[in-house]
C-alpha cells in the first residue's frame, strides 16, 4: 500500500498548478503553462472552501479536498525524525517494503535515511524452488537466495553515500547544504501549525512518535 498526496500551487492571479516539482520561488510559471497546460487551472474561494476548474472543464468548479499549507518561518529549526513508508505485494506472491525519512536537529543539521527489502514470497518458493530475499539500508544491501541444492548470499556496501548536512527554512523553500558540497533547494511546507507533518523531497512525512 502506498499513500499518495496531491499538492497544488495557488497563485494570486487566480491560477493554480497540479504538483510542486520545485521551490515556488524557482518556478517559471510561464514556461510551465506552455509545456504542461493540462496541469494548470483556475481557482476561487467560496466561504472556507477552495474551488478549482481544469482545462477539460473550464467552467466547472469543484472543491479541492485538503488543507492550506503552512509556510516555515525564516530560520526556523526543527527537532525529530519525519518519515513515511510503503509496501507492495503479499506474503504468498512476494513483495517489498520501503521506509524513508529525515532527522532534523535544533543546531541546523539534517540526516536522511532509507531502508527496505523484498522477498519472492511463499508461493514463489514453492512453485519455482527458488527464492530471493533482499534487505538494504544506507550502508549497503544483503541478498540471500536458495535453490533445492544451494544456499548463498551476497553483500554490497554503499560507497560515497552522502545524506547529511545543514538546512535552512524560509517560507515555502528548504535549502539543504550537503556535507559533500552539493546544494539542493526544495519545495517545503507544513500540513498544520502543529508541525507534525511536512512536505520534504516530494513526500509528505510524519513526525515519529518519540515513545
Domain check: are 110 and 35 in the same one? Answer: no
Structural domain count of the chain: 2
CA distance 177 to 165: 5
Kindly state the percentage of the chain with pLDDT values over 70.
Answer: 82
Residue 204: pLDDT above 60?
yes
Rounded to whole angstroms, the Cα distance separating 51 from 65 reads 9
Residue 70 located in a structural domain: no
Domain final residue, candidates 36, 63, 90 = 63
Same domain, 167 and 97: yes
Window from 37-46, 66-75, 122-131, 176-185 with minimum mean pLDDT: 122-131
How many of the other CB atoms lie within 10 Å of CB of 165?
Answer: 20
CB-based contact 185:167 (threshold 8 Å): no
Residue range(s) defining the domain that contains residue 21: 8-63
Whether 3 is in a domain gets the answer: no
* Residue 71 within a domain: no
Please name which of 191, 9, 169 lies closest in space to residue 84, comparing C-alpha atoms.
191
pTM: 0.78
Q: Residue 129 — very low, low, confident or very high, per pLDDT cuts 50/70/90?
A: low
Residue 75 lies in a domain: no
pLDDT of 105 strictly over 60? yes
Co-location of 58 and 84 in the same domain: no
Indicate whether 127 and 55 sit together in one domain.
Answer: no
Amino acid at each position: 500500500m502506498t499513500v499518495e498526496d496531491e499538492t497544488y500551487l495557488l497563485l494570486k492571479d487566480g491560477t493554480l498548478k497540479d504538483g510542486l516539482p520545485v521551490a515556488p520561488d524557482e518556478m517559471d510559471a510561464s514556461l510551465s503553462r506552455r509545456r504542461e497546460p493540462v496541469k494548470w487551472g483556475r481557482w476561487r474561494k467560496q466561504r472556507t472552501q477552495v474551488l478549482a476548474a481544469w482545462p477539460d472543464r473550464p467552467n466547472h468548479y469543484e472543491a479541492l479536498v485538503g488543507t492550506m499549507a503552512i509556510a516555515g518561518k525564516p530560520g526556523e529549526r526543527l527537532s525529530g525524525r519525519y518519515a513515511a513508508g510503503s509496501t507492495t505485494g503479499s506474503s504468498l506472491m512476494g513483495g517489498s517494503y520501503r521506509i524513508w525519512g529525515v532527522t532534523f536537529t535544533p543546531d541546523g543539521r539534517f540526516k536522511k535515511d532509507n531502508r527496505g527489502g523484498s522477498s519472492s514470497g511463499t508461493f514463489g518458493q514453492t512453485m519455482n524452488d527458488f527464492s530471493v530475499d533482499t534487505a538494504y539500508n544506507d550502508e549497503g544491501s544483503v541478498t540471500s537466495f536458495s535453490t533445492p541444492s544451494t544456499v548463498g548470499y551476497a553483500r554490497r556496501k554503499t560507497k560515497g553515500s552522502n545524506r547529511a548536512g545543514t538546512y535552512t527554512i524560509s517560507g515555502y523553500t528548504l535549502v539543504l547544504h550537503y556535507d559533500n558540497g552539493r546544494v539542493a533547494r526544495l519545495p517545503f511546507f507544513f500540513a498544520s501549525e502543529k508541525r507534525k507533518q511536512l512536505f520534504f523531497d516530494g513526500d509528505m512525512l510524519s513526525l515519529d512518535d518519540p515513545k
